Structure 1
Amino acid sequence: MSLSEPLQPGGFVPIEAKLTISDARSPVVLSQGSAKLYFPSETLTGNGEMLLRFLPEPRFCIETKFQRAQDNNFEYVFVAGALESTMEFVFEGQRIDGFATRRQVVRPASILNSSVSSIELDWSPGAMPLYFGDIDSRSVTSVILHLFNFPNFRGNQSVHFGASSFGALLILESRESRVWIQGLPRGATGSAWRRIKAEGGCHLTHVAKLERKDCAALTLAEFELQREMLASFLSFVKGRNYSLAYNVALCTDGVTAWRSFDHPTSDHEVNTWFSTEDGSQAEMLFPLFEKRWNLSPNWRDCLSTAIYWYTQATTEGRMPSIGAAIILTQSALERLAHHHAVIDQKVLSAEQFNALRASDRIRMLLSSLKIPIEITEDLPEIKRFNELNSGSKFTDGPHAFTYIRNSLVHPVAKQEMEDCYIDAWRLGLWYLELAILALCEYSGKYENRMIGEMSFVPWYKKQKAGITS
């Protein structure tokens, strides 16, 4: 398939998950192999299992077991005093930095084996993601992604491509790659989300496939670039920090080349710009986001930072607090404003930008992107404050938002603003969502958190008969 060849309807090949989860309370064994534990004075050899544990929180760990002649002094040091800095842990021939979350010496019950004890260790990797397998393979044509707690979106792509038995289907296409995101068969995605809403926790909800559009091989370096961009994009869609937890690289013949592991995220649903009733929003934004992301390393850093702060600010009654969320949102807006005005458009020097008040920085960003800054009826508490305090009346939304933010950070001599916190939080997130969409040049519909329904972005211009109206 060439880069310019369009997708053809029908003939959809279902994506098969490489992970089976029967009970989200029970750990899943993903890999088995040899393990070694190096101490300054000796080496222990045994076996280990790579586990995905869901309780008390979703984490990957390696459960290992070693045999050793009993030595009470060594056992005491191992259980009570041995530091990770004195140990080196190797699994499947690969050194893995990390720390022990459980250490236990199991003495035999039988007198016949009284001279041998088992040393059990649960090893939690430090730096993630981890890769195992033939990472230098030049035969990888696709990577299967397993998505946990991903929004239960709707869409018509599944009907178009003959995948209706799998519920919804998203197709995210960039210039060179394509990502298929598919629901689980037999209504399993809906069942998983019913459990998430009722019990919380981490559940597999979707499976996806990443491939090059020209069917060429996908190197690990190319996957890493795609993984970073896709994780940031999906975080913006979900509204919470999102990781690609378990990925399986497949060769043309279906043989696994390598696998990667990262700790899954188990966050709840929050309101974002993305409506689960219309998955086409994500499909429309994805190539625009990828284009902006790849413009420069500076743009990549700016977007990833702003989105990370955005995911921390969509709190909805959980941690962090509303006050902290407002502070984080202003930081993200100023980050975007600086990059847009100083680095990208070069309309201000860094010194000129730093001399501006926070409200002026945000106002300049929003105005240049055609984002409304008026205080409307959708901000009832802020409007009421304005009516009651004519002497300190807010001139517009950026003024109100930054004033309320400052009252959180510098409360001395400030009037009580608690009643305005929710309005300010909603306003700031709305600004931030629209700013990211505008910078990506998105011109479709979005979920407008100010009115609680879908609407076109403010800068949308309807095209009719080739004339902009």
Structure 2
Amino acid sequence: MNAANSVPSNHLPKPTLYLGQHPNQPIQLYRGFAELIKGEQVMEGQATTIFGWFPSPCVKFEFTHFTEARIDWDDVTLKLTEIGISVKVRISETTTYVGENKSVISGYPCEAIVKGKGHELTSLVFHLPNFPFFNISNTWVMNEEGEEKLEGWLEWVFDGQFVFQTGDWRIVLATLPENWDTHELLQSQGGYSLTHICKLERLDRTPFSMDDARDLLKAFSYYLSFARGLWLAPMLIAGFDAEGTQVFEEWSACRADSWQNTYAWFSPDSTDLVETFPGFMHRWQDKNWRELVQESIHWYVESKKQAGGVNGAIVLQQAALERLAWVLLVEDKRSLSQNGFQKLPAADQVRLLLSSLGIDLKLPTDLINLTQLANQQNWVDGPQAITEIRNAIVHPNPKNRHKGGGASEEVRTEAWSVGLEYLELALLKLFDYPYI
């Protein structure tokens, strides 16, 4: 039996759990002796390196020294002496304390801080912020006595965990323990906090490199961002060998949004998030779909956050729907020629996309303001309504102002909600979501 299979994977690894009592607490990564280096000039002192949340999630440092020496701000290297790591940094501020002969230099690394070697790894562990908590698992199995038994990764530690599989990889998403008060604070106050921890490994637990895992980490980030409706990304990545010893660590800035109490298409009390992942990965791994999946999720998340206001969100939705229509109808199904598609009005392009996916075209009757305007303008369905309003926003003229750009806020908000629902449903259909 080789080393990779000598220990059950559910017992490996046992990583550091970053558990904060309150949102927005910075996470200390290093505190100790350090040097700032500029060419031949070396300044000795103490450094504290943290993972902070504002203005966006990133690594920061403070370097304290007790000399009168000064250093130029350009092309500076920070050496964390006690762990032997050097990294290029950008200095943002220097504070001098008169009478104490002390200066504090603050700044940011220009690149990821990496400890160890990112190869011959058996598992990667990383944290996630601001994901909804859940306390169920999809790792129940039947034992020899015919009884259900929970098998997972450190199942006695985590409150709940979902296991995702794709190809020869497995990803565990687990709710951090003793963290439910943090969840309530996030819901009431917003901000940031680490809420989940993940483990990535091969099904046969054979070694891999960090480069091997990068694409899957990126895919999983996009998938969870689509599920959450906010940007999420792996943080504080750690790599482990077959014995469960940490041999690699990476600290870097990442794209993640502050908590928002937004609607999500999945329920934390069910496994539909797990069941939809294979369909997502099927599209992600198709070279004809990869770029479009990324762009569509980008437009979906930014639209859901109303980036650029309601008008900007409506434009993003329409761009996503028209691109999806082109790829599905022209390139994938080949049900329309390029010339035939381009001759169609935008409303017909969206209408054909939704119809081919089995999505209802009727305007929801509870959208009173949009429905009233649609009746006045003789718009036949939802695709025409959102397209006419988008056209009026992008191509404003006095005849169209009442349709979009000059329409009431209530009408535009309702049009935004319809477009967002169409885009969400289209993506879920393409990812083989089983419950629509």
1:223 pairs with one of 213, 219, 231:
213
State the 1:351 CA deviation: 5.2
State the 1:311 CA deviation: 0.8
AA partner of residue 421 (structure 2): W
8 A contact 1:63–1:121 mirrored in 2: yes
The residue correspondences of 1:387-398 to structure 2 (distance < 5 A) are 387=375, 389=376, 392-398=377-383
Provide the C-alpha distance between the structure 2 equivalents of 1:47 and 1:250, rounded to a whole number of angstroms: 29
Q: Verify: 1:329 aligned to 2:317, yes or no.
A: yes
8 A contact 1:181–1:206 mirrored in 2: yes
State the 1:216 CA deviation: 0.8
Tell me which residue corresponds to 1:137: 119
AA partner of residue 225 (structure 2): S
Tell me which residue corresponds to 1:248: 238
Inter-CA distance 12–39: structure 2 relative to 1 (3 Å threshold):
closer
Tell me which residue corresponds to 1:174: 166
State the 1:355 CA deviation: 4.1
Tell me which residue corresponds to 1:449: none
State the 1:420 CA deviation: 1.9
Secondary structure in 2 matching 1:185? coil
State the 1:22 CA deviation: 4.3
Same amino acid, percent of matched pairs: 26
Cα RMSD between the aligned structures?
3.0
| Residues paired across the two proteins, number | 408
- Residue deviations 1:393-416 (CA, integer Å, cap 9, x gap): 112211111111222233422214
Provide the C-alpha distance between the structure 2 equivalents of 1:100 and 1:438, rounded to a whole number of angstroms: 48
Deviates more, 1:411-420 or 1:228-237: 411-420
Give TM-score scaled by structure 1 length. Answer: 0.78
2:176 pairs with one of 160, 184, 192:
184
1:153 pairs with one of 111, 134, 138:
134
8 A contact 1:246–1:259 mirrored in 2: yes
Secondary structure in 1 matching 2:419? helix
The residue correspondences of 1:115-130 to structure 2 (distance < 5 A) are 117-126=101-110, 130=112
State the 1:346 CA deviation: 4.1
State the 1:437 CA deviation: 1.6
Inter-CA distance 424–155: structure 2 relative to 1 (3 Å threshold):
farther
Higher relative contact order (CA 8 A, sep 6+): 2
Tell me which residue corresponds to 2:144: none
Provide the C-alpha distance between the structure 1 equivalents of 2:213 and 2:393, rounded to a whole number of angstroms: 42
8 A contact 1:144–1:249 mirrored in 2: yes
- Residue deviations 1:284-342 (CA, integer Å, cap 9, x gap): 0112211211121x422111111011111113xx7542222211111221222232234
Secondary structure in 2 matching 1:157? coil
Secondary structure in 2 matching 1:241? coil
State the 1:221 CA deviation: 0.9
- Residue deviations 1:376-403 (CA, integer Å, cap 9, x gap): 424332222233x1xx311221111111
Tell me which residue corresponds to 1:452: none
Tell me which residue corresponds to 1:282: 273
Inter-CA distance 105–348: structure 2 relative to 1 (3 Å threshold):
farther
Q: Verify: 1:432 aligned to 2:423, yes or no.
A: yes
Provide the C-alpha distance between the structure 2 equivalents of 1:300 and 1:95, rounded to a whole number of angstroms: 36
Q: Verify: 1:21 aligned to 2:25, yes or no.
A: no
Provide the C-alpha distance between the structure 2 equivalents of 1:350 and 1:134, rounded to a whole number of angstroms: 51
Provide the C-alpha distance between the structure 1 equivalents of 2:264 and 2:20, rounded to a whole number of angstroms: 29
8 A contact 2:129–2:232 mirrored in 1: no
Q: Which runs of 5+ in 2 are unaligned?
A: 2-7, 141-148
- Residue deviations 1:142-166 (CA, integer Å, cap 9, x gap): 1112121111235353765264773
Provide the C-alpha distance between the structure 2 equivalents of 1:215 and 1:324, rounded to a whole number of angstroms: 46
Tell me which residue corresponds to 2:59: 60
State the 1:232 CA deviation: 0.4
Provide the C-alpha distance between the structure 2 equivalents of 1:351 and 1:89, rounded to a whole number of angstroms: 56
Provide the C-alpha distance between the structure 2 equivalents of 1:428 and 1:25, rounded to a whole number of angstroms: 33
